[in-house]
């Protein structure tokens, strides 16, 4: 009988140890799942910050490029206008504009209703 009580006690201890091991495994799995979830959230946040940083940087570059292009176009337009004003045609154009302003000719437009 002493043997059977010892065996029963040993089996009870084994079952208790197995329960503790199972509980530890469950705890470990829960912690791993939580860590994976936290890491995934951190990665998503980091990716968003990188995307925002890159998009703001590219927008700044685009604005600078657009400003530079606009400046070049404006300078070219100014040079073209200055060339026209320096040419002989400028006097004729100015004369026609002044004549048209000072002596307007009142005519009925072709498409006007009578």
- CA 105 to centroid of chain Cα atoms: 57
With 0-12 CB in 10 A as exposed, 13-18 as middle and 19+ as buried, what is 92? exposed
| Domain locations along the chain | 2-75
pLDDT in the model for residue 103: 82
pLDDT at 110 over 70: yes
pLDDT number for residue 1: 62
Summarize pLDDT for 9-39 with one digit per residue, the tens.
989 999 999 999 999 999 999 998 998 998 8
Q: How far apart are the first and last CA of the chain?
A: 132
Task: Give me Rg for the CA atoms of the chain.
Answer: 44
User: In this predicted model, which residue has the larger pLDDT, 79 or 85?
Assistant: 79
Residue entry with tokens 């498409």: 111
pLDDT (tens digit per residue) in 31-65:
989 989 988 898 888 888 888 877 776 666 677 78
In degrees, rounded to 5, the angle at the alpha carbon of residue 51 between the alpha carbons of residues 50 and 54 is: 85
Of 97 and 25, the structure prediction assigns the larger pLDDT to: 25
Distance CA 64, CA 74 (A): 15
What confidence score (pLDDT) does residue 114 get? 64
Is the whole model's pTM more than 0.75, yes or no?
Answer: no
Higher pLDDT: 29 or 100? It is 29
Q: Which residue has the higher pLDDT, 106 or 44?
A: 44
pLDDT recorded at residue 16: 92
Q: How many CB atoms lie within 10 A of CB 90?
A: 14
CA distance 106 to 62: 50
Output helix, strand, coil percentages for the chain, rounded to the nearest 5: 85, 0, 15
């Amino acid at each position: 009988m002493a043997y059977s009580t010892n065996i029963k006690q040993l089996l009870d201890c084994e079952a208790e140890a197995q329960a503790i091991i199972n509980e530890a495994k469950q705890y470990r799995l829960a912690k791993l799942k939580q860590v994976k979830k936290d890491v995934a959230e951190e990665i998503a946040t980091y990716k968003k910050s990188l995307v925002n940083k890159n998009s703001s940087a590219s927008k700044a570059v685009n604005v600078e490029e657009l400003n530079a292009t606009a400046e070049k176009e404006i300078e070219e337009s100014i040079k073209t206008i200055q060339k026209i004003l320096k040419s002989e045609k400028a006097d004729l154009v100015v004369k026609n504009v002044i004549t048209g302003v000072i002596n307007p000719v009142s005519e009925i437009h072709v498409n006007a209703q009578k």
